[in-house]
Each structure stands twice: as C-alpha cells, then as structure tokens.
Amino acid sequence: MLDCAAEVDEAVMEKYLAGEELSQSEMLAGLKKAVSARTCVPILCASAYNTVGTQLVLDAIIDFLPSPDHKPVIKAGRPGNNEAVELKVGKGDPLSALVFKTRIDPHAGRLSYIRIFTGTMKPDQPILNATTGNVLKAHNLLQVSGREQTIVAEAAEGDIICIAKHDDLSTNDTLCAPGNPVIIPPTEFPPPTIQMAIHAVNKADEEKMGIHLHKIEMEDPTLTIRRDPETNEAIIMGMGELHLDTVVYHLKHYARIEVEMTLPKVAYRETVTAHAEGMHRHKKQSGGRGQFGEVHLKVDPLPPGSGFEFVNEVVGGVIPTKFIPAVEKGVHESLQKGILAGYPVVDVRATVFYGKDHPVDSSEAAFKIAGAICFRTVAREAKPILLEPVTLATIEVPEEYMGDTMSDVSSRRGKVLGMDSIKAGRSSKHTFLFRKCSAIQSICAPSLVAGVHSGWNLITMPRSPLN
C-alpha cells in the first residue's frame, strides 16, 4: 500500500524514501490518487447477506474512489456516427446520464438506477434515450436508501437517482437532452465462463421459472439465459459455479420454485468421410393403384461448414422432372434423422443420377420415400462419423500453476495451441494458454480448473465449430 501511494504522489515519495512515517491522511490521499490512476485496486471482504463489512465498503468508496469533481471531462460519442464529444462537469452542459443498474421490485416493478454526469433532471422533463431513440418522461425521481424511497424535485451532476416503471430502460442506456444526443461509453461486462441446463422439478413450474429467470437476467448483466433450439433446454450462463448457484437459490427461496441444474446436452452432428453410391426401389401394391419409385444416389463428403448440397444429374428423363423435388425432400428428411445416432447430418453432397418410374404407380410420395431410404442406405456405406463440438478457450494463470494447468488441459482431451507470457500487476507474471477441447469436457471446466490452481484463473470460452 505504501508503494502504491508513493508512486503517484511526489511529496509522499520523498517522505517514504527518507524513511519518514506517513500520516493517515497522506496515505489516504496517495491511495486515492493511485486508485484514480488505476495503478492500485482495493480489495475488501464483505457479506451483504450477513451485513458484515458493508460499512467498510462504504467508507472505502468515500476514501478511495474519485468524485465527479475529479473528472471534469467525460468522453462520449454521438449516436450513429460515434463522433467524439466531451462532456464537461460543472460547466452548465445539457443533461447526460447513464442507467447503471436495473432491479425488479415485486411492488414497484422495474427500477432503473441512474447516475447523472452533466446537467440536471426534473420530473416530467422530456428525456431522450439515446440508445433506443425513444423519448420518455419520469413522473417521479426517487432517491433510494435501503428500502426507503424519497421523491426529489431535482437531481444534479453526481447524483444517483431511480426511475420506476419504465420498461423501455435497460442497463447501459444513455439518457440525455433531446436537443443534444450523446452516448456515454457503456460498462463492459466479461463474457460468461460456464453454462448449465436448468429445469423445474415440477413441469407445471416451467413457465413460471422462465418468467423469473428473465427478471433475474434483467437485473444481472453478467447472466445470460437462452433456450437451446435443438435440445429445448433452458441454458443459464454465468461467471462461475457460485454465480449459477446464486440464481438457483433465488428461484428456490424467493420464487418458491424447485429447480435442478444439469450438464447441457451436447448437440452432436454426423457426416460422411468417403464416397458411396447405391439405389433403392420403393414398390408397394395393395390393390388398385400402387406405389413405385426407384432412386440411385451418390453421397460425397464436403469441407467443414459447407452444409448440404443436392445435385440432379439425371439425364434422359429416367426420373420425370416433376419427381426430382420429392427425391430432394426425402433426402432432407433423412438428414434430420441421422444415420448413426439420430443427430443431423452436415457437410454432405447427395447426387441423384439414375432411377425408374412407372406410368401409373409413380407419385411424389413414392419418390420421396425412395429418396429418404436410399440416402440412409448409401450414407451408411460412406464411412459416417460423429462430430463433437469443440471449445476454443483462453486461460490466464499465474506462472507457477502453468504445469498443473497444462496437465489438466491434456486430461480433458485438450490441445495447447500456443502460450504467451505477459506482465500483470507489479511483479507477477501470467501465461495465456490457448486450448481446444470437446464441449462435453469443457462445460464445467471453470470450476474444475479452478481447483488446479486455487481459483487464480481467468477463462474465456467463445463458441467454436464442430470437430
């Protein structure tokens, strides 16, 4: 702490080097400058749930964090073209404010917490939401202190106020004067590092669970809720296992919904790796008009990401042109049903090159069935394989844990693509590890990898292609 205070204040540095004892006010002043310069970050231990250390946090905010007076110029931009704009505090500039928090109150509805950077805000004043382009009016401006809400007649620069029941406001929205539209740079939140499937124990609570999850997502920008279109599972993504456990606790104790978290189902794919060809004749006679269709197909693999191609190489009219779309439709149906384990087939070309029809019994239905069965039969001879999603992850760890992390990556069928040493903080060094591993192994990787090096890790895992 003394080092941090001395580095940004010359007077403190002189006394520190001379061996003189620093007063508490000098230390606080030096630390405040260090925090403002972002060369020092205070770490405090507190528990709001148990009301332990909250006063210490409030005192630290007053002692260490800069007030609006210490940042007279705020950099912003214009909507649309992002033209640079400087907002000057205390110079009579028009209103500019940022929605920094959203909370859903069971009685008051949506509460939007706003910090005013420049100008003033009054009740029923026209306000432009520069992020969405909508104009709104706040009938009441509230100052919130715990559970108490006090209506104020005006809010000025540096004030934090609350607006109730404006559903079109979201966290990171910029509010400004209609005649002076500006966009204040939003707070950047880290991407999720872990995902789990969540479902209600009682199926009747599924809809209720979805409603409450949506409310929690509005309050927490680091939480993402989505519905997997393939597995139809509700997926919650957050910053770690404890983060998701907090969501489950909220649902159980406040919404009274019993829920369970499980590993998400992995969306596998199937493809072929070799050329194959064959035929199928669909013939059915049950009295009266029957069904007849004969289809010859060639199946070939395509490069990853190519999708599906259907090629018509029929010549001489051996299959009437009007039945070719029915053959393609049958092949499409077989693609969705899979050839190995029922997963969709990708990156494959199906070529119809020959066939036969009957002048009376042939129909679109007959050729559709013939095309579907022929594709499944031929694809099974084209050396089909199962494709598993992979994750491209970046792991940042202290240098002393690099060996243990490398072993953990290898145990998850991961491949280290590269390493780079960087300097973090004053002296410690971290190493970036780039790994590529299967989705099933990486879903719960953040919690497992944390155990390898006592939680000193930073993991980023964007979505990656199939392998």
Q: Using 50, 70 and 90 to split pLDDT, how confident is the model at 419?
A: confident
pLDDT of residue 312: 95
Q: What is the pLDDT of residue 51?
A: 83
Element at 417 (helix H, strand E): strand 415-423
- Tokens 């609006």 belong to 68
Cα(326)–Cα(328) distance, integer angstroms: 5
The length of the chain in residues reads 467
Highest average pLDDT, of 21-30, 68-77, 318-327, comes from: 318-327
CA angle 233/239/241 to nearest 5° reads 70
The domain limits of the chain are 2-66, 73-176, 194-262, 270-386, 389-466
* Helices and strands (H and E) in the chain: how many: 11, 25
Mean pLDDT of 287-295: 85
CA-to-CA separations, 321 to 51, 52, 106, in angstroms, rounded? 77, 78, 63
Choose which CATH entry (2.40.40.20, 2.40.30.10, 3.40.50.720, 1.20.210.10) describes domain 73-176. Answer: 2.40.30.10
pLDDT of 448 strictly over 50 = no
Position with higher pLDDT, 90 vs 132: 132
Give the pairing of strands 384-387 and 429-438: unpaired
> Which phi and psi angles does 310 have, rounded to 5°?
-120, 125
Query: Mapping DSSP to helix (H, G, I), strand (E, B) and coil, where does residue 318 land?
Result: coil
Averaged confidence pLDDT in the chain: 84
Tell me which residue of 412, 429, 413, 411 sits closest to 421, measured CA to CA: 429
Domain topology for 194-262: Alpha-Beta Plaits (3.30.70)
* Residue bearing the bigger pLDDT, 357 or 394: 357
194-262 against 270-386: fold identical: no
Q: Residue range 326-333: average pLDDT? A: 95
Query: What is the pTM for the complete model shown?
Result: 0.69
Pairing of strands 134-137, 174-176: unpaired
User: Would you say residue 390 has pLDDT above 90?
Assistant: no
Q: What is the dihedral of CA 301, 303, 304, 305, to 10 degrees?
A: -110
- 324 vs 17 pLDDT, higher one: 324
For residue 83, give the 3-state DSSP assignment. coil
Residue 122 pLDDT > 80: yes
CA-to-CA distance for 445 and 409, rounded, in angstroms? Answer: 9
Q: How confident is the model at residue 452 (pLDDT cuts 50, 70, 90)?
A: very low
In the beta sheet, which residues pair with residue 281?
A: 294
389-466 — its CATH code?
3.30.70.240
pLDDT at residue 121 tops 90? yes
Indicate if the pLDDT at residue 336 is higher than 80.
yes
Would you give the DSSP letter of residue 95? Answer: P
pLDDT tens figures, 86-104: 888 777 789 999 999 999 8
Lowest mean pLDDT among 91-95, 145-149, 379-383, 412-416: 412-416
- pLDDT band at residue 146 using 50, 70 and 90 as cut-offs: confident
Compute the average pLDDT of residues 98-113.
Answer: 90
For position 467, what pLDDT does the model report? 56
Cβ neighbours for 145, distance < 8 A, ≥ 6 positions apart = none
320, β-bridge pairs: none
pLDDT greater at residue 305 or residue 68: 305
Residue 175 CB neighbours (<10 A): 26
Choice between 259 and 391, residue whose per-residue pLDDT is larger: 259
The residue with tokens 């061996």 is 19
Q: What is the reported pLDDT for 106?
A: 81
Would you tell me how many other CB atoms lie within 10 Å of the CB of residue 181?
Answer: 20
The mean-pLDDT minimum among 152-166, 286-300, 403-417 falls in: 403-417
The answer to whether residue 255 scores a pLDDT higher than 80 is: yes
More confident residue, 456 or 11: 11
CATH number given to 270-386: 3.30.230.10
Q: Which one has a higher pLDDT value, 397 or 149?
A: 149
What pLDDT score was predicted for residue 461? 55
DSSP 147: T
3-state secondary structure labels for all residues of 400-466: HHHHHHHHHHHHCCCEEEEEEEEECCCCCEEEEEEEEEEHHHHCCHHHHHHHHCCCCCEEECCEEEE
Q: Which residue has the higher pLDDT, 405 or 169?
A: 169
pLDDT value at 424 more than 60: no
- pLDDT above 90 covers a percentage of the chain that reads 46
Grouping H, G, I as helix, E, B as strand and the rest as coil, residue 51 is coil
pLDDT surpassing 50 at residue 428: no
Question: Is 68's pLDDT higher than 70?
Answer: no
423 vs 238: which has the higher pLDDT? 238
Lowest mean pLDDT, pick from 10-24, 84-98, 204-218, 290-304: 10-24
DSSP code of residue 136? E
pLDDT recorded at residue 422: 66
210 pLDDT band (50/70/90 cuts)? very high
- The mean-pLDDT minimum among 68-72, 241-245, 279-283 falls in 68-72
436 has pLDDT over 60: no
Which of 226, 363, 384, 425 shows the shortest CA–CA distance to 299? 384
